[in-house]
Amino acid sequence: MDWQTSEDTVPSSPVTEADARLLLGRPPATGAWRDGDPAGDRRFAAFGAFRTEGGAELPAYRLAFETWGELSPTRDNAILILHALTGDSHVRGPAGPGHPTDGWWDGIVGPGSAIDTNRWFVVAPNMLGGCQGSTGPATIAPDGYEWAARFPYLTIRDQVHAQRQLADALGIDVWAAVIGGSMGGMHALEWAIEYPDRLERVAVLSAPPANTADQIALNSVQLEAIRVDPRFQGGEYYDAADGDGPHRGLALARRMALLNYRSPTELNQRFQRSWQSEVSPLGDGGRFAVESYLDFHGNRFTRRFDANTYITLVEAMNSHDVGRDRGGIEDALSRVSATALVVGIDSDRLFPIEGQHRIARGIRTTLDGDQAAVISSDFGHDGFLIETPTVSTHLRRLLES
């Protein structure tokens, strides 16, 4: 669960007047990519009926994805990269028509980078339930209306099963590596457990073996912030005019989430008790700089995301428990046969390092024995997106193994 845009994956900084001007105008009812919008670098794969773990059925679905590099004749050089909660398929490349942000891992993926696209064929899908080209709540259902709140409940395993169908469609029987961070790390871990014969390596970055009660509680208040927005209208807001959608609830949910993605150390060092302007926040109507910072990023988020989608994906994260129906977490982890890299951030307060150590202890094939590789960072959970040199070093170790 992270910010997933290059603008956000830099150290926190005060909001300038130029930043604020970027958000002039009313936000749309949804920031979802819609049919008819520029496709950008997306490709699309369409599939037939899909039955969820809970027994609901989508009559058909599609996944949007992007690729870099060339698939070898023997199809043995493919890497699957899985994004986090608010990310998408745009791992690298500039913002432009169809892509609201620059690639979220530009420093990691590309020619000569840790995931070298001169060597590897990289595939990055937008997850099922997402809002950037894959079927989700903002997609038109067979009756001609958006799925909205009718969209079925998804689990992490559902999303991985959909990704497996994409692999089949691309003719990739075995991934050279499956790599993911945060929610994408949940997917990567599920891949290694559910389909151990279909990947040679796995990287799990800043993800837990199961969402805890504390994490579910934090998620619940974010979802309630969306649902209590009167403009949410039970999820039926897609026909609302600009400015009349549930942007306030979605922005508030985002502000809550951001507090878990960064560490107290970074926020305190960057902002201290500074004011946003010369107007005092001590009773004179001014604001602290950190307040304006959260507002800015919350409001910007509403221009590229969708409220129903946020609910769908957060609930999928809440489903995450690799031990469910598998005899417990340790029994599930013992199924992994891929060479594994498990990475945690020492300042991560969303998914604390103890969770990554538990994953590493349970997998017999980790690079670092029974301990996760620990990155020391002031940036908290988002360190796996920001600490590019260190993350690159670890990923090179995995891909050279």
The answer to whether 197 is a known catalytic residue is: no
Residue 268 identity: N
The pLDDT, as a whole number, for residue 1 is: 34
* Token pair in block for residue 275: 């004011």
Rounded to whole angstroms, how far apart are CA atoms 318 and 323? 14
- Of 321, 381, 382, 394, which one is the catalytic site residue? 381
- Of 88, 229, 348, 378, which one is the catalytic site residue? 348
- Of 113, 134, 182, 377, which one is the catalytic site residue? 182
Identify any residues that bridge with 110 across adjacent strands, giving them in sequence order: 116
Helix residue ranges per DSSP H, 262-387: 264-271, 289-301, 307-318, 329-333, 353-362, 383-386
Low-confidence ranges of the chain (pLDDT < 70): 1-24, 263, 268, 272, 275-276, 284, 297
Contacts for 156 with CB less than 8 Å, ≥ 6 apart: 183, 186, 187, 190, 316, 317, 319, 320
The pLDDT, as a whole number, for residue 6 is: 39
Handedness of CA 114, 205, 79, 154 (dihedral sign): negative
The pLDDT, as a whole number, for residue 362 is: 98
The pLDDT, as a whole number, for residue 278 is: 76
Q: Which residues of 201-232 are buried (b: 16+ CB within 10 A; e: fewer)?
A: bbbbbbbbbbbeeebeebbeebbebbbebebb
Rounded to whole angstroms, how far apart are CA atoms 347 and 184? 19
Distance of CA 306 to the CA centre of its chain: 14
The answer to whether 376 is a known catalytic residue is: no
The answer to whether 229 is a known catalytic residue is: no
pTM for the full predicted model: 0.91
